[in-house]
């Protein structure tokens, strides 16, 4: 755990879907779409680990957003040093967040 990292803190502020030793999945508090967060404070999981994280996110995203109605976005804009990825619906970038 890195002091000052919101993702390491893992405060439950939105719907929490999954929590295990590898990751947690909850609605992102900024954009309100399912987001997987690796429990390790590191920006670069191995390809196999990233696949596992994405599989867990896919199970939640399929249920919450609909099968095939989302894509993985792992461009870490606001917290670039802690791996996380969002499940984005197709119209995400066109909708208003305010």
Among residues of the chain, what percentage have pLDDT more than 70?
94
Q: pTM of the full predicted structure? A: 0.90
Average pLDDT over residues 19-43: 96
Pairing of strands 34-38, 23-27: antiparallel
Q: Is residue 4 part of a domain?
A: no
Confidence category of residue 95, pLDDT binned at 50, 70, 90: low
Domain residue limits at 31: 17-93
Structurally, how many domains does the chain consist of? Answer: 1
Q: Is residue 35 part of a domain?
A: yes
Return the sign of the alpha-carbon dihedral for residues 8, 14, 18, 19.
Answer: positive
Q: Is residue 34 part of a domain?
A: yes
Q: Is residue 74 part of a domain?
A: yes
Helix/strand/coil (H, E, C) string of 36-67? EEECCCCCCCCHHHHHHHHHHHHHHHHHHHCC
Task: Give the Cα separation of 1 and 81 in Å (integer).
Answer: 12
CATH number of residue 75's parent domain:
3.30.428.10
For residue 97, pLDDT over 60 is answered with no
Q: Is residue 46 part of a domain?
A: yes
Q: Is residue 1 part of a domain?
A: no
Q: Is residue 2 part of a domain?
A: no
């Amino acid at each position: 755990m890195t002091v000052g990292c919101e993702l390491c803190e893992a405060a439950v502020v939105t719907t929490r879907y999954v929590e295990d030793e590898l990751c947690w999945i909850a609605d992102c508090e900024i954009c309100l779409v399912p987001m997987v967060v690796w429990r390790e404070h590191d920006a670069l999981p191995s390809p196999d680990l990233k696949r596992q994280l994405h599989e867990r996110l896919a199970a939640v995203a399929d249920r919450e957003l609909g099968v095939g109605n989302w894509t993985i976005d792992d461009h870490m804009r606001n917290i670039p040093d802690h791996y996380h990825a969002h499940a984005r619906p197709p119209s995400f970038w066109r909708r208003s967040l305010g």
